A and B are shown apart, each in its own frame.
Chain A
Amino acid sequence: MLSRTADHLYWMSRYLERAENMARMIDAHHRLSLLPRAPEAVLQGWQATLVSLGMDDLFLEQHATLTPLAAFDFLAFDREHSGSILRCVRAARENARAVRGTITSDMWETLNTTYLESHAFNSSMPESGRGEFIEWVKYRAHLTRGVTSGTLLRDEALYFSRIGTFIERADNTTRLLEARWRDPGGRGERLLAEASEWAVLLRAMSAFEIYRRVCRDSVNPTRVTEMLLMRDDLPQGVHRCLDELQANLTAVANDQSAETLRRVGELHAQFHYGRFEELCAGGIPVFLDRFQAKLRDLGARISKDFLASSDGQ
């Protein structure tokens, strides 16, 4: 496969995954805003999310003050910066368009239709319609995944697409956790109130019922974090993402990728053989931070080994 084609497939999947996770992140706030919380707490929650996405400075450049609505619009609809959901949808479609000869017609039509439909959404929508937007993003992401898994040949095209999906998902899951841990109200000091707030996070990630089933416990921040990091049977879980990353990277291994495979193996082993308490001994936010740095390193190495236009000279 052409390196450039692999690059487009990888980014197509990353952007789609990012759009979905942004929607889930926003959804979490939307649900939080329905809880009886002080207005400052709500704003602090949004602030923490912007920080975890690395978009707090950009937001403040464009907006004098932080309001829930402004933050929603900024993350969902703003076409001026590349991090918004609408821009992610467009980027996914642009990447798909560049390789429409490699993906199936069904995939292309699904992504293209998603893009065409996205024009209907913007910040002038009534607030009541915004929940619908979030549901639409999730639905289109589900649909695209289904079409991909239902129609794409099991070859490199699928492997690179999945590499993009899972590196992005691992990144996003840790960001969601990080945002919650950075939220000043979220540090395990107000157990009852926090239980409902973390339950909201689980619901936004479609993981609430699973938590009940596998943890059989009341919702508490540490257990939620442990589940989302350590379980290899949870599709949103970081451990699961690393399973997939390792398997798909192994499937596309080439002459220069040995070190990248070693690093993904090492990272995976932490989750596979490590203990949550030991990994997070220095504090959960610190661990999440370090993990994200390792993911970035992995992303850069994947680009260099497989996606960059190297002629071997």
Chain B
Amino acid sequence: MRGRPYDEMLDAGGSPRPHCRHYCDWLNEQAPERLVQKRAEADALFHRLGITFAVYGENAGTERLIPFDIVPRILPAHEWKQLEAGIKQRVRALNAFVADIYHDQEILKAGIIPAEQILGNVQYRAEMRGITVPGGIYAHISGIDIVRDDDGRFCVLEDNLRVPSGVSYMLENRKMMMRLFPEFFARHAVEPVEHYPDVLLENLKSVAPAGATDPTVVLLTPGAYNSAYFEHAFLAQQMGIELVEGQDLFVRDDIVYMRTTRGPKRVDVVYRRIDDDFLDPQAFRADSTLGVPGLLKAYRAGHVTIANAIGTGVADDKSIYPYVPEMVRFYLSEEPLVANVQTWLLRRPEERAHVLDNLPDLVVKEVHGAGGYGMLIGPASTRAQIEDFRARIKAHPERYIAQPTLALSTSPTFVESGLAPRHIDLRPFVLSGREITVVPGGLTRVALRDGSLVVNSSQGGGTKDTWVLGA
């Protein structure tokens, strides 16, 4: 049905692509035992460093390693340059879109997106109407998920504008590779990624409320049992800012303070890693114990900056995703530089009919789902699973979208039986401040099971270091 997927390292004839030649030569010289030993070394180090994630649903507090593959994913300079331009363009448009829908709603007036799609969306926060955020920036940190289509072209699979995670693995993977294979970095110009925390801190300070001369930035975490806790602690440490939980903050007279051993200290910028729903029990979910009562009021009063802004979820919703290319044209008057994956909206009767006729070939996703849960991968599903999804779609078509089953590109990966191709994707991290910065590369996730297309760490995915080669 489908041809062989695009391989990142080898061309159709099985020879190394030009930009991978050096690496492949080096790899071929390595004794297999050395690679086995290096992998064991990496595992031991990750354990000792405690670079783990918590697994939900099993024993609470269970910690696991995210499997790390010692074969990097390598991007040549010219390919990265194009991709980077496309991602920056996309993030500019998404940011303009969020600003617009909470102010003049020009895009709705122009009829480009049906108003009820936005205003009726659960991720739309009416509380944000008319609020001006510092610098006009809503998505300070975005993760744009990139895959290759069958022809090897990059396209965007998903935007993450709420609390995208994974950047700590990008940074730790690089550190690990430099520790394991220093000889390689000495010989090759691999673009560095270590400056990510510096850029992030600079950006967060730059969006502090007016009047804060030496702004205090904190990172708000749900706590040590959150699956991404390692990342929260890591980023706070790298930036030299306090890692706070909701209970460490309080609001008095619309000003946010943290509780310190020397009394209350004012907080200017909150880099939050908690979803909107849990941020403020007075404004959103009343049962949330993770948030800070009164935070929204302080935010609306302009006394604190929240990053990412509240209400960005409406822009990365899967039902809004199909409109992003239109946003690029509408706000920037430019043609999109990276394409979307073809997407059918199941609330549209004619598209629904097409999808229902072709379910075994398609991927169906829940509009609000995340983490690889709540999706159907047609070719990998049983008849019963497909029928189950068919019934669910018919009951609530507006909750689903469908896409063709992408081949996803593969990369040689070190598995039990040796090197074998495994499917991968890429999440570059985009930082928006006075300017937009994309740290070269990003996080490459790899589906370690043979043939699997699911790269999520919660479902058996691993990660690789991502190298952008110098020009």
Interface size classification for chain A = 20 to 34
Contact A309-B259, Cβ < 8 Å, known A94-B224, A108-B50, A109-B48? yes
List B residues 225-270 near A (Cβ within 8 Å). Answer: 229, 233-234, 236-237, 242-245, 247-248, 250, 252, 257-264
Contact A312-B247, Cβ < 8 Å, known A2-B242, A101-B233, A101-B234? no
Are the CB atoms of B259 and A254 closer together than 8 Å? no
Contact with B48, one of A102, A113, A254, A306 (Cβ below 8 angstroms): A113
> At the interface, yes or no: B186 with Cβ under 8 Å from chain A?
no
Q: B47, B248, B260 — which one has the most chain A CB atoms within 10 A of its CB?
A: B260
Are the CB atoms of B261 and A306 closer together than 8 Å? yes
Contact A311-B264, Cβ < 8 Å, known A2-B242, A94-B224, A98-B224? yes
> At the interface, yes or no: B31 with Cβ under 8 Å from chain A?
no
A153–chain B nearest beta-carbon distance, Å: 12
Please give, as numbers and ranges, the residues of chain A lying within 8 Å of B245 by CB-CB distance: 4
Q: B237, B243, B261 — which one has the most chain A CB atoms within 10 A of its CB?
A: B261
Closest residue on chain B to residue A310 by CB atoms: B259
Bound together, the chains give a CA A2 to CA B233 distance in angstroms of: 14
> At the interface, yes or no: A6 with Cβ under 8 Å from chain B?
yes
Are the CB atoms of B224 and A1 closer together than 8 Å? no
Are the CB atoms of A255 and B263 closer together than 8 Å? yes
> At the interface, yes or no: B49 with Cβ under 8 Å from chain A?
yes
A269–chain B nearest beta-carbon distance, Å: 25
B241–chain A nearest beta-carbon distance, Å: 9
Bound together, the chains give a CA A152 to CA B259 distance in angstroms of: 23
Please give, as numbers and ranges, the residues of chain A lying within 8 Å of B244 by CB-CB distance: 2, 4
Digitize B194-234: 1 where CB-to-A-CB distance is under 8 Å, 0 elsewhere: 00000000000000000000000000000010000100011
Bound together, the chains give a CA A307 to CA B50 distance in angstroms of: 26
Closest residue on chain B to residue A7 by CB atoms: B261
Q: Do most interface residues of chain B lie in helix, strand or loop, or is the interface mixed?
A: mixed
Digitize A276-313: 1 where CB-to-B-CB distance is under 8 Å, 0 elsewhere: 00000000000000000000000000000011011111
Are the CB atoms of B259 and A97 closer together than 8 Å? no
Contact with A312, one of B50, B242, B264 (Cβ below 8 angstroms): B264
> At the interface, yes or no: A125 with Cβ under 8 Å from chain B?
no
Are the CB atoms of A112 and B242 closer together than 8 Å? no
> At the interface, yes or no: A81 with Cβ under 8 Å from chain B?
no
Please give, as numbers and ranges, the residues of chain A lying within 8 Å of B257 by CB-CB distance: 311
Digitize A192-218: 1 where CB-to-B-CB distance is under 8 Å, 0 elsewhere: 000000000000000000000000000
Please give, as numbers and ranges, the residues of chain A lying within 8 Å of B49 by CB-CB distance: 105, 108-109, 112
Please give, as numbers and ranges, the residues of chain A lying within 8 Å of B258 by CB-CB distance: 2
Are the CB atoms of B252 and A252 closer together than 8 Å? no
Are the CB atoms of B48 and A101 closer together than 8 Å? no
Are the CB atoms of A156 and B243 closer together than 8 Å? no
Are the CB atoms of B236 and A1 closer together than 8 Å? no
A251–chain B nearest beta-carbon distance, Å: 11
Please give, as numbers and ranges, the residues of chain A lying within 8 Å of B47 by CB-CB distance: 116
> At the interface, yes or no: A3 with Cβ under 8 Å from chain B?
yes
> At the interface, yes or no: A145 with Cβ under 8 Å from chain B?
no
Bound together, the chains give a CA A6 to CA B224 distance in angstroms of: 16
Q: Do most interface residues of chain A lie in helix, strand or loop, or is the interface mixed?
A: helix
Bound together, the chains give a CA A98 to CA B264 distance in angstroms of: 21
Are the CB atoms of A101 and B261 closer together than 8 Å? no
Are the CB atoms of B248 and A4 closer together than 8 Å? yes
A-B pairs with CB below 8 Å: how many?
71
Bound together, the chains give a CA A99 to CA B250 distance in angstroms of: 20
List A residues 61-116 near B (Cβ within 8 Å). Answer: 94, 97-102, 105, 108-109, 112-113, 116
Are the CB atoms of A309 and B50 closer together than 8 Å? no
Are the CB atoms of B237 and A156 closer together than 8 Å? no
Please give, as numbers and ranges, the residues of chain A lying within 8 Å of B264 by CB-CB distance: 311-312
Bound together, the chains give a CA A97 to CA B54 distance in angstroms of: 13
Bound together, the chains give a CA A73 to CA B250 distance in angstroms of: 45
Contact A311-B50, Cβ < 8 Å, known A2-B260, A156-B261? no
Contact with A116, one of B48, B224, B236, B247 (Cβ below 8 angstroms): B48
Bound together, the chains give a CA A114 to CA B50 distance in angstroms of: 12
Contact A254-B224, Cβ < 8 Å, known A4-B245, A101-B236, A108-B50? no
Are the CB atoms of B48 and A252 closer together than 8 Å? no
Bound together, the chains give a CA A218 to CA B47 distance in angstroms of: 50
Please give, as numbers and ranges, the residues of chain B lying within 8 Å of A2 by CB-CB distance: 242, 244, 248, 258-261
List B residues 35-51 near A (Cβ within 8 Å). Answer: 47-50
A60–chain B nearest beta-carbon distance, Å: 30
Digitize A253-270: 1 where CB-to-B-CB distance is under 8 Å, 0 elsewhere: 011000000000000000
Are the CB atoms of A252 and B224 closer together than 8 Å? no
Bound together, the chains give a CA A313 to CA B257 distance in angstroms of: 12
A100–chain B nearest beta-carbon distance, Å: 5
Digitize A142-161: 1 where CB-to-B-CB distance is under 8 Å, 0 elsewhere: 00000000000000100010
B13–chain A nearest beta-carbon distance, Å: 46
List A residues 3-27 near B (Cβ within 8 Å). Answer: 3-6
Bound together, the chains give a CA A102 to CA B261 distance in angstroms of: 14
Are the CB atoms of B261 and A100 closer together than 8 Å? no
Contact A252-B261, Cβ < 8 Å, known A108-B50, A113-B48, A311-B252? yes
Are the CB atoms of A101 and B259 closer together than 8 Å? no
Closest residue on chain B to residue A115 by CB atoms: B50
Are the CB atoms of B50 and A112 closer together than 8 Å? yes
Are the CB atoms of A311 and B224 closer together than 8 Å? no
Q: B234, B257, B259 — which one has the most chain A CB atoms within 10 A of its CB?
A: B259
Please give, as numbers and ranges, the residues of chain A lying within 8 Å of B229 by CB-CB distance: 97
Bound together, the chains give a CA A85 to CA B47 distance in angstroms of: 22
Q: B50, B229, B236, B252 — which one has the most chain A CB atoms within 10 A of its CB?
A: B50
Bound together, the chains give a CA A3 to CA B265 distance in angstroms of: 11
Closest residue on chain A to residue B251 by CB atoms: A311
Are the CB atoms of B50 and A3 closer together than 8 Å? no
Please give, as numbers and ranges, the residues of chain A lying within 8 Å of B247 by CB-CB distance: 4, 309
Are the CB atoms of A309 and B248 closer together than 8 Å? yes
Are the CB atoms of A3 and B224 closer together than 8 Å? no
Bound together, the chains give a CA A307 to CA B263 distance in angstroms of: 11
Q: B245, B263, B264 — which one has the most chain A CB atoms within 10 A of its CB?
A: B263
| 7 A-B interface contacts by CB (under 8 A) | A4-B244, A5-B242, A101-B237, A109-B48, A112-B50, A113-B48, A254-B261
Chain B interface residues (CB < 8 Å from chain A): 47-50, 224, 229, 233-234, 236-237, 242-245, 247-248, 250, 252, 257-264
4 A-B pairs with least C-beta separation = A101-B237, A101-B236, A311-B250, A101-B233
Contacts A3-B261, A108-B49 known; 5 new A-B pairs at CB < 8 A: A1-B260, A1-B262, A2-B258, A4-B259, A311-B259
